[in-house]
Amino acid sequence: MMGVFKTAVSLAVNNARVGVKSNRSSFRPLLSCAPVAMMTMDRGAHTQDITKNIQYISNEKLKLTADPSTMKLNTQPDKPLCVMINWLLARQKHVMKYATLYLEQGFDVLSVSCTPWQLMWPAKGSQLVASDVLKFIATNENEHPMVVHGFSVGGYIWGEVMNHVMNNKDRYLPVLDRVVAQVWDSAADVSEISIGVPAAVFPKNKIMQKTLRAYMEYHLKTFHDAATTHYIRSSQLFHSNPCRAPALIFLSKTDPVGAEKSNRMLHDNWVKLGIKCTWKCWDKSPHVQHFTFHKQEYLAALYAHLDACNVLAQPDKLGARI
């Protein structure tokens, strides 16, 4: 069994570049934290790195730099902001598919990522990412509203953000007032972490999924103080969400990672807290692929939610997309 663990550790825990071979016989990095260079995307959008885990996406070609300690930008964009917290190993083209929905509505997008290594070692990884996200939205305030749109492990990252908020309420609780809408797509709870990480790292290799899942279960037991307690605390704060903006929850009955049971518990807890929640559950669609399998329904629900929260700036875009 230790041989299995060592294999999983070498593939999923060490902060190194691990590759998965594609149809073109090339390797894509799995655990790399290397930033993506500034580039021009389709529809005139531009993406620029703020940190290794945070990118700024805008329809304008901005040249932004951030103070590493405060995350204060040299130039303050004058637009509403969508904080998009991505799923593990999300490809840039897939992130842009969602970012475009907000760019078309006059938003800029703050794209947040987290690697498997950062997820597995919170104190040196995901908690630092969460801290940067919170400092960014706190030090770069403007009069425009903010939307949080998270996928899968994004719920865990937002829980870590909330942990930083609660540790400094006087400074950070007022920041949450800017958030006017939340969208959670396939939100994964701590109970699904040993299922979700292997599926993200090895999406087409069942044997390696099983191997990594065995290691993840071992990791959760062995590194309880270094990892598991942080997951539990984040889950608690995600369920007791200090951010009370109306929420839209996307999920499916067949998704083992963003499971219906844990999402229903999340929904019920939020309703008890007075958070207005919209529940959109499909009978069948894969994890973080509800948009792909149910595009028209997904867009209709998303646009209706944004409209109800008074942040739908371009309703004429609806007909073209739906």
| Beta strands in 59-98, from DSSP E residues, in sequence order | 81-85
Give the pLDDT score at 21. Answer: 40
Burial 100-118 (b: 16+ CB within 10 A, else e): bbbbbbebbbbbbbbbbbb
The predicted structure's pLDDT at residue 29? 35
Q: What is the structure's pLDDT at 75? A: 92
| Burial of 94 (C-beta count, 10 Å sphere; 0-12/13-18/19+) | middle
Q: Which residues contact 105 (CB under 8 A, 6 or more apart)?
A: 306, 311, 312, 313, 314, 317
pLDDT at position 316: 66
Amino acid 44: pLDDT: 75
Task: DSSP for 187-204, please give it.
Answer: ---GGGHHHHHHHHHSTT
pLDDT, residue 199, reads 86
Q: Strand pairing of 277-282 and 146-151?
A: unpaired
pTM of the full structure? 0.85
Separation CA 100–CA 98 (nearest Å):
5
pLDDT tens, N- to C-terminus, the chain (322 residues) = 444 444 444 444 443 333 334 343 333 333 333 333 344 444 579 999 999 999 999 999 889 999 999 999 999 999 999 999 999 999 999 999 999 999 999 999 999 999 999 999 999 999 999 999 999 999 998 889 999 999 999 999 999 999 999 999 999 999 999 999 999 999 998 878 888 889 888 988 999 999 999 999 999 999 999 999 999 999 999 999 999 999 999 999 999 899 999 999 999 999 999 999 999 999 999 999 999 999 999 999 999 999 999 998 776 665 556 5
CA dist 298 and 247 (Å) reads 14
pLDDT number for residue 25: 35
d(CA 175, CA 195): 33
- DSSP secondary structure letter of residue 18: -
CA distances from 164 to 157, 213, 242 (A): 11, 29, 11
> Tokens 């071992």 identify what position?
218
Q: Which domains does the chain have, with CATH numbers?
A: 33-193+227-321 (3.40.50.1820)
Please tell me the predicted confidence (pLDDT) of residue 258. 92
Q: What string of DSSP letters covers 201-263?
A: HSTT-HHHHHHHHHHHHHHHHHTIIIIIHHHHHHHHHHHT-S--S-EEEEEETT-SSS-HHHH
pLDDT given at position 23? 40
- Crossing angle of helices 229-239/260-272, nearest 10°? 50
